Amino acid sequence: MLHTVSSSPYASASLANCLRYSEPHSEILLLEDAVVAGISGGQWHEKLISSERRVYVLKEDAVARGILENITSPFELIDISGFVDLTARHVTQMTW
């Protein structure tokens, strides 16, 4: 299942709820303000890594927020085309 999170984890419980209720084999896409969760060394960076879910960060949103250089492995930066590919690959999706 693909989970898309768009709200900052510092302003909303969306990402926390996503991690709580999603299956370990799920994939998570951070977009809009949620991309801040992917900042290397941040509290959410470690939580996402330890969740063992595959995490993607929308590159355009990271660029727009000036944090592109702060997004590091194991998160995968994807563009809009990659976003489309993810949605096509997953029959079931959940937006947080």
Distance between CA atoms of 48 and 6, rounded to whole angstroms? 15
- Over residues 16-28, the pLDDT tens digits come to 999 999 998 999 9
Residue where the block lists tokens 């995490």: 55
- Over residues 11-68, the pLDDT tens digits come to 999 999 999 999 989 999 999 999 999 999 999 999 999 999 999 999 999 999 999 9
86: tokens are 């993810």
94 by DSSP, 3-state: which? strand
Give me the pLDDT at residue 72, please. 87
Give me the pLDDT at residue 30, please. 98
